[in-house]
Amino acid sequence: MESLFKKFVYTGVGLISLTKDKVQKTIDQLVDENKISTSEGKKLVEDFFNNTESKRDELEGQLKTAVEKVVKNFSLATSKDLTALEKRIEELEAALSETEKKDHTEQA
């Protein structure tokens, strides 16, 4: 489930990357045609990049919240839950092994 959301985020980032390239080319073309100054072009590109990064961070936050909500609603185990279960299983196996050793020693 989480990998699906990661793919979605990466796809969005890829689309944003393509858009950035297109914006950069368009701004460069406007500067070359003297429709805007170089400093105006730099400012436009910087503003676009800053806005894009902000939106990407916002999107990642929203997706993380959505994933957490889905996991909670479906009562899916988290990696923390699985780690705790693995530790508990190891403890139980060790205790069982000790019990079996004692039983074997007592029988002999």
DSSP 51-90: HHHHHHHHHHHHHHHHHHHHHHHTTPPPHHHHHHHHHHHH
Is the domain of 61 the same as that of 87? no
Q: Give the structural domain span for 29.
A: 2-76
* 28's tokens: 């460069």
Q: How far is CA 59 from the centre of its chain?
A: 10
CA angle 94, 100, 106 (to 5 degrees): 140
pLDDT averaged over consecutive 10-residue blocks of the chain (108 residues)? Answer: 62 66 82 86 82 79 82 81 96 94 78
User: Residue 38: what pLDDT?
Assistant: 86
Other CB atoms within a 10 A radius of the CB of residue 30 amount to 15
Is the domain of 60 the same as that of 105? no
Is the domain of 20 the same as that of 66? yes
